[in-house]
């Protein structure tokens, strides 16, 4: 039974093929980050100020080209890549909600407690302003991770297919 299961697994994986990838390598580190065909990347070309977004449709390793929907980009012309960080936006939004909730519950509590000596104080406003401001700043400042291509990082196009067909 074990032999049958092993043969079934080996026969079903015979048609698997590898792929072409864009690999980000860090100098001195064995870890790499691979970006596959079908991914959306934000990149900045050398000599430009703004970032572009593109859907990778194909990678031509022999020509060092990345094929996007409307253009070709030489991999050596890319100066910087940008990746979205989800945690900065999530933590920032949570802090802003916390600040608003603090003021809302303080106002509601002071209005319904029946004690005329309690009121909405400057401390409540300070907690609201500080947490909302910190949340907004965190969401804006830690939005992206930027990788500058050059001294520490480099881009490499890899063809990991088993048989390289020049027509593919």
Residue-wise over 99-118: b if at least 16 C-beta within 10 A, else e? beebbeebeeeeeeeeeeee
List the domain boundaries for the chain. 18-84+144-159, 86-141
Eight-class DSSP state of 75: G
Nearest in space to 46 (alpha carbons), one of 145, 150, 146: 150
Q: What's the rounded Cα separation, in Å, for the pair 20 and 79? A: 21
- What pLDDT score was predicted for residue 2? 78
Nearest in space to 33 (alpha carbons), one of 162, 154, 159: 154
- What pLDDT score was predicted for residue 16? 47
- What pLDDT score was predicted for residue 128? 95
Determine the number of helices (DSSP H) and then strands (DSSP E) in the chain: 3, 10
- What pLDDT score was predicted for residue 161? 78
- What pLDDT score was predicted for residue 164? 57
DSSP per-residue codes, 77-92: GEEEEEEE-HHHHHHH
Q: Helices marked H in 61-165 — which ranges?
A: 86-112, 122-141
- What pLDDT score was predicted for residue 42? 94
Q: Splitting the chain (168 residues) into consecutive groups of 10 residues, what average pLDDT does each group show?
A: 72 61 91 92 93 93 91 93 90 94 91 83 92 94 90 89 65
Mind listing the pLDDT tens digit for each residue in 123-168?
Answer: 999 999 999 999 999 999 988 999 999 889 999 998 887 765 666 5
- What pLDDT score was predicted for residue 110? 87
């Amino acid at each position: 039974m074990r032999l049958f299961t092993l043969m079934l697994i080996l026969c079903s994986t015979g048609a698997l093929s590898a792929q072409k990838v864009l690999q980000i390598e860090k100098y001195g580190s064995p870890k790499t980050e691979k970006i596959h065909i079908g991914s959306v990347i934000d990149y900045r070309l050398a000599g430009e100020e703004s970032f572009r977004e593109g859907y990778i449709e194909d990678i031509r390793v022999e020509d060092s080209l990345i094929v996007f929907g409307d253009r070709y980009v030489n991999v050596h012309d890319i100066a910087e890549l940008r990746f979205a960080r989800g945690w900065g936006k999530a933590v920032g939004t949570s802090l802003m909600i916390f600040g608003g909730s603090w003021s809302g519950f303080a106002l509601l509590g002071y209005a319904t407690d029946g004690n005329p000596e309690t009121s909405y104080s400057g401390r409540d406003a300070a907690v609201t302003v500080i947490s909302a401001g910190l949340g907004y700043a965190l969401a804006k400042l830690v939005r992206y991770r930027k990788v500058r291509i050059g001294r520490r990082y480099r881009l490499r196009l890899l063809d990991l297919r088993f048989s390289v067909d020049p027509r593919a």
